[in-house]
Amino acid sequence: MGVKQRVHRLLEVGGATREEQVVDWGIMALIAANVMAVILSTVDALYAQYSFYFRAFEVISVTVFSVEYLGRIWAVTVRQEYANPIMGRLRYALRPMLIIDLLAILPFYVGFFFVDLRFLRALRLFRFFRLLKLARYSQTIQAFKYVLKEKREDLIVAVSATLILLVLSSSMMYFFEHEAQPEAFSSIPETFWWGVVTLTTVGYGDVYPVTFGGRVFAAVVAFLGVGLFALPASILSSGFVDQARSSESETMCPHCGEVISEEH
């Protein structure tokens, strides 16, 4: 096995050998440590005391993630669909997970060219994209991605129905309550807040109907919200059940990482 094939297996496939598992778990641990560092760095007293260590850890992390990112792009040409050294690597770099990898390290390098501190503070939020890199290594997150893909049409229908109900209920409540509470229900867009907290059954109590018609209508909307917001959960549950059943008859190829069905 050549160096390029080995790098591809370590970074892209992984999990088949002890060495590949060490690489996977090492990167996952580094990602988790980075997320914790970002959170702790927002504590001013803590950051002021350990700023050197925070910056050093950032440099080390970005170096590792940069090597990982460049290694993936360099070694991907071993795959037939990305064999072209230029266009193949470009197509591969435009994949969602590779864009996430790039966004995870981009703020560090952008800081060398921009001195606007407000811009840099906003850009630091992109470091949380490192958390999304865990999707590459977690089987659970991969299963969740598979379920979302398989059930996307059902979820779109459920979300669309929820949005339609939100618009209709907020519009009706506006006409019920506008005259009685012109400030709380000043417009239909303002009434969307009431619709969201009612349909989700949160009910903060900061905006609520006072008229008889508004209260009756709000009760109906609340009951509809309980049933409607349960739909996405049931769709996802059925998807996980289907995925668990299908995974029992499928195995992963240790060489390319693709699914191999036992029927073949």
Kindly state whether residues 178 and 196 are assigned to the same domain.
yes
User: Which residue matches tokens 């991605």?
Assistant: 145
Helix (H, G, I), strand (E, B) or coil at 261: strand
* pLDDT at position 27 over 70: yes
Q: Which pair of structure tokens corresponds to residue 218?
A: 């709000």
- Give percent of the chain with pLDDT exceeding 70: 79
Sorting pLDDT into bands at 50, 70 and 90, what band is 56? very high
**What CA–CA distances, in Å, run from 165 to 88, 158, 231?**
45, 11, 14
d(CA 4, CA 174): 63
The better pLDDT of the pair 13, 86 is held by 86
Give the 3-state DSSP-derived string for 54-102, with helices as H, strands as E and coil as C.
HHHHHHHHHHHHHHHHHHHHHHHHHCHHHCCCCHHHHHHHCCHHHHHHH
Per DSSP, the residues of 140-180 read HHHHHHHHHHHTHHHHHHHHHHHHHHHHHHHHHHHHHHTTT
**CATH number, residue 150:** 1.10.287.70
Quote the number of domains for the chain. 2
User: Are residues 69 and 173 both part of a single domain?
Assistant: no
Q: Check whether residue 105 and residue 201 sit in a common domain.
A: no
Of the ranges 103-112, 197-206, 210-219, 231-240, the best mean pLDDT one: 210-219
206 shares a domain with 172: yes
Give me the domain span that covers residue 259.
139-264
Mean predicted confidence (pLDDT) in 244-255: 58
Cβ atoms of 47 and 54 closer than 8 Å: yes
Query: What sign does the dihedral 146-150-156-159 (CA atoms) show?
Result: negative
243 close to 150: Cβ distance less than 8 angstroms:
yes
Query: pLDDT: is 60 or 254 the higher one?
Result: 60
Residue 95 has pLDDT above 60, yes or no: yes
Least confident of 80-89, 139-148, 199-208: 139-148
Chain segment 122-152, per-residue pLDDT in tens: 555 666 666 666 666 666 666 777 787 888 8
